[in-house]
Structure 1
Amino acid sequence: MTHSENSFPVGRRSLLAGVAGVGAAAVLPTAAAQAAPAAASVPASATAAATASVPAKSASSRRYPRNWPDPEPYGLADARTDLWPREDNSFVLPLELRPRDKERGTVWIRDTYVNCFVVDGRPLYVATGTTRVPGLEVAAPWNDGIFVWTARSLEGPWRLADTTRVRPDAEKGKVWSPEFVGENTAGRTVVAPWQEYWTDDKYGKRGHAWAPEVHYFRGKWYIVACTGDYAKKVGSFMLVSDGGVEGPYRLVEGNLEKPFGESFIGGPGFIEPGAYHHIDGGLYSEGDDAWLVLHNNLYAKFRDDMEDIVTPTDLPKFQQQPYSPEPYLEGAYVFKHKGKYFLVHAAWNRASVNADGTTRHAYDVAATGRVQYQYDAIVAVADTFEGPYSERYTAGVGAGHNNFFTDHRGDLWATYFLNPAAGYWSNASRVGDAAVPGVVRLEWTGPEGNRLYVQRRK
């Protein structure tokens, strides 16, 4: 993962400042699905089809906003609508539609990932995420791999990566899939045996790729992704391209037999013992070094040749301040800005009722009377990659399982997708506006506050 210190030099940034401002369809909250405190009242009218123009604004011209006081005790969630993706601070990327997307009019995607890299002196934006196949409502028990889109500016035009020269007969933009197993040759593995499609009597066809990230590091393209709950082995893996962002990609040596890290008992009950490894793998790079970031508190340095991690077992842990008790977290991601490290997680904000009848929003463990409300982005801050990290705070409501990135102007953004699996965005009246490739502006609270929030109302 790149960070804000890897942005354009001043001359290049000035040259590109004339690129068109952002404008596209914004995804916004509609009526509340369930009770919320008065401070968290939900905007009454909004629609995914609303057209918004999010003006470009130089990071250097902003006044530093203040940190908000954190709800007490530690572990309560901030549900105020200022932290939602809204019409004035966000929009949905106009990704090129595949035939499967045309009826919906928007790409159905979870775990949306977007980044901006400097390639040959020019900005190149990439987008990817978890997608589904025609005929399935979700990306399980199988999907058909990983798609990538590219653009020269955040507002587009966004085109599917041109994979036609790599695979003339495959769907455009598909850079990796279990169906590419036939491309394996001696000394070059595209799909390992544990990543292949398989079938059973209960679920039928099984196998998929979830939560991919695309990275450009030391002149090469990498994809870090994971196999999900219905795979032969569940866990994170990395691909490296022998060409450009379109591929062709192959599997790194460290994943020929299994995902990264050790197996443990986890996930749904139908996963066989020994098959579950840490999911949601990502990559953090700084200078000439790179680290694997694993769900939800592990990391490991990559070998210099990037074919495996240095210590395959006994992975070190980030020094965090967990909640008590610690709920299930997903999507660990590290972003560096102004010398600080921001560790991002996804957590379910669960609503329950206090003894006085008011609504309680908290990052609680699941229990009777606690209803999944929003899939939030929570963040902790540290002076070093390993930590110790600060207490976590709510950075974005409904923006969970995302990444932070810097555009070519130096402005800060986060992705979001609005989780349709449960909670607010699963409601029948708004599920059509969920699972989208959304981006929302971030604001930095300056060298004293040192927080990143979804851009709040002034």
Structure 2
Amino acid sequence: MQQLSIRPVTVLSKTPAVAKPDNRETIEAGLQAHDKSLFIKDGWIRDPYIVTSPEGEYYLTGTTPLNDEDWVNTDPYNLGLGDYSCVGWKAHIWKSKDLIDWQPVENAFSLKDGIWAKTHPESFEETDPSKWLLWAPEIHWTGDRWALVHTSPFPHSGANLSLSNGAEPVGPWENPMGEKIARRHDPSLFNDDDGSWWLIWGATQIAKLKPDFSGFEGEPIKIGPSGDTKNMGHEGCLIMKIDGKYVLFGTGWSTGLMRRGTYNLYYAVADKITGPYSERKFVGRFLGHGTPFKTKDGNWWCTAFYNGNVPPLEKEGIENENLIFTAASINQRGTTIVPLDVFTDDDGELIIRAKVSEYATPGPDEAQKFDE
């Protein structure tokens, strides 16, 4: 195996082999017990996103290579960043009935389906396809079809908001916003109780969408947590409605410095989508750009993935390890899910926290101090 993304590894004689996912019995028992993390699917991925379809099937997508087989034996712990990024230009989607067996959704979405390939074809013609990048796709059920959002820096810097033509997240795709979608980092969608749809991007701006997704109903609104830490982080923001509260999730490095420490997930709570929001609270270590979701039995989980400058670390004793000097993770290369506690306490405060210690404990490298 080659070194990590052509970067020298000073503490290892060779890159460790890629781990295999947990077996069926382990995942089935773990889903029922809801008491430990589960490695459910292999394959290089960032920003894994899981959502349930109206029929009760789970869909998984995320930032992926065009063909993972090109990387698993040569650069398995590729950062997905810089000149040696393995990231491709297609949104691969898989579906599963049990979070164990995953089937690919063929010909789901690619940059060629988005608005920019149609309005700026010269960008695509003049840029080698190996440099095209599709980042952080999500899919959202709108009632009769799927909406897909993602961001892309190359070959044309811009996001896409695309609609499928039916009940499967496949083309042909429509792009109702046209170029008005513009450049928006890590876009996400939120459907409020009144039926309105909102676009979320950056860290954090939101804007209400027209009912037909053809544009914005108003100007973007800046939202974020209150208190000492006024930023959610720098990316991976999304909004959910839980127990009657608007919950803004965001991602940042524990140290507040890029690629130093651990990639973490945080949240803030409000009574209105526009805020004001609470102080920033801690969901979990190593859960950055993860997606909280419910399984069919009502339990909450969060997706997690490998994001580090060194291969995955051992879990034992990680709570006390100060990882300030580099980007590090305990997640294996692939998709992991981590159990969450989600409840409203006796004081009316919404609590969202990883259930297992290695994720639930802020590390010594955590810059923010949380009231426990």
How far apart in 1 are the matches of 2:51 and 2:200? 17
State TM-score, norm by structure 1. 0.60
- Residue in structure 2 matched with residue 28 of structure 1 by the alignment: none
In structure 1, the residue corresponding to 2:225 is in which secondary structure?
A: coil
- Once the two structures are superposed, residues 387-422 of structure 1 have per-residue CA deviations (whole angstroms, 9 ceiling, x without a partner) of 1111112211011011111222211111111213x3
How far apart in 2 are the matches of 1:383 and 1:55? 32
Residue 310 of structure 1 pairs with residue 310 of structure 2: no
Pairs within 5 Å for 1:42-441: 52=26, 53-56=29-32, 88-94=35-41, 106-118=42-54, 122-134=55-67, 135=70, 137=78, 138=80, 140=85, 143-153=88-98, 155-161=99-105, 173-179=106-112, 191-194=117-120, 197-199=124-126, 205-228=130-153, 230-233=154-157, 235-254=158-177, 256-257=178-179, 259-260=181-182, 277-287=183-193, 288-311=195-218, 314-321=219-226, 323=228, 329-350=234-255, 364-365=256-257, 372-420=260-308, 422=309, 425=312, 434-441=332-339
- Once the two structures are superposed, residues 229-276 of structure 1 have per-residue CA deviations (whole angstroms, 9 ceiling, x without a partner) of x3322x32211001232421424231x33534xxxxxxxxxxxxxxxx
What percent of counterpart residues are identical? 21
How far apart in 2 are the matches of 1:453 and 1:378? 9
In structure 2, the residue corresponding to 1:344 is in which secondary structure?
A: strand
- Residue in structure 2 matched with residue 19 of structure 1 by the alignment: none
Asked whether the 8 Å contact 2:306–2:330 carries over to 1, the reply is: no
How far apart in 2 are the matches of 1:190 and 1:454? 39
How far apart in 2 are the matches of 1:220 and 1:49? 32
- Once the two structures are superposed, residues 289-333 of structure 1 have per-residue CA deviations (whole angstroms, 9 ceiling, x without a partner) of 11111111111111111232223xx41112532656858511111
How far the C-alpha of 1:424 sits from its partner, in A, is 7.2
How far apart in 2 are the matches of 1:244 and 1:390? 37
State TM-score, norm by structure 2. 0.73
Unaligned stretches of 5+ residues in structure 2: 1-9, 12-18, 72-77, 315-325, 361-372
Moved more, 239-248 or 330-339: 239-248
- RMSD (Å), alpha carbons: 3.4
How far apart in 1 are the matches of 2:93 and 2:293? 17
- Relative to structure 1, the CA distance from residue 123 to residue 441 in structure 2 (aligned partners, 3 Å threshold; closer, same or farther) is same
- Relative to structure 1, the CA distance from residue 48 to residue 373 in structure 2 (aligned partners, 3 Å threshold; closer, same or farther) is farther
- Once the two structures are superposed, residues 191-226 of structure 1 have per-residue CA deviations (whole angstroms, 9 ceiling, x without a partner) of 4344863545xx884322110011111221111111
Q: Quick one: which amino acid aligns to residue 305 of structure 1?
A: D
- Relative to structure 1, the CA distance from residue 179 to residue 290 in structure 2 (aligned partners, 3 Å threshold; closer, same or farther) is closer
Asked whether the 8 Å contact 2:230–2:279 carries over to 1, the reply is: no
- Residue in structure 1 matched with residue 5 of structure 2 by the alignment: none
In structure 1, the residue corresponding to 2:340 is in which secondary structure?
A: strand
Unaligned stretches of 5+ residues in structure 1: 1-32, 35-46, 59-87, 95-105, 162-172, 182-188, 261-276, 351-363
How far apart in 2 are the matches of 1:390 and 1:434? 33
Asked whether the 8 Å contact 1:48–1:433 carries over to 2, the reply is: no
- Relative to structure 1, the CA distance from residue 259 to residue 307 in structure 2 (aligned partners, 3 Å threshold; closer, same or farther) is closer
In structure 2, the residue corresponding to 1:279 is in which secondary structure?
A: coil
How far apart in 2 are the matches of 1:242 and 1:142? 27
Asked whether the 8 Å contact 2:232–2:266 carries over to 1, the reply is: no
- Relative to structure 1, the CA distance from residue 438 to residue 338 in structure 2 (aligned partners, 3 Å threshold; closer, same or farther) is same
Q: Which has the larger radius of gyration?
A: 1
Q: Quick one: which amino acid aligns to residue 114 of structure 1?
A: I
How far apart in 2 are the matches of 1:442 and 1:93? 16
Q: Quick one: which amino acid aligns to residue 320 of structure 1?
A: P
Point out which structure has higher relative CO (alpha carbons under 8 A, 6+ apart).
Answer: 1
How far the C-alpha of 1:144 sits from its partner, in A, is 2.9
How far the C-alpha of 1:426 sits from its partner, in A, is 8.8
In structure 2, the residue corresponding to 1:192 is in which secondary structure?
A: helix
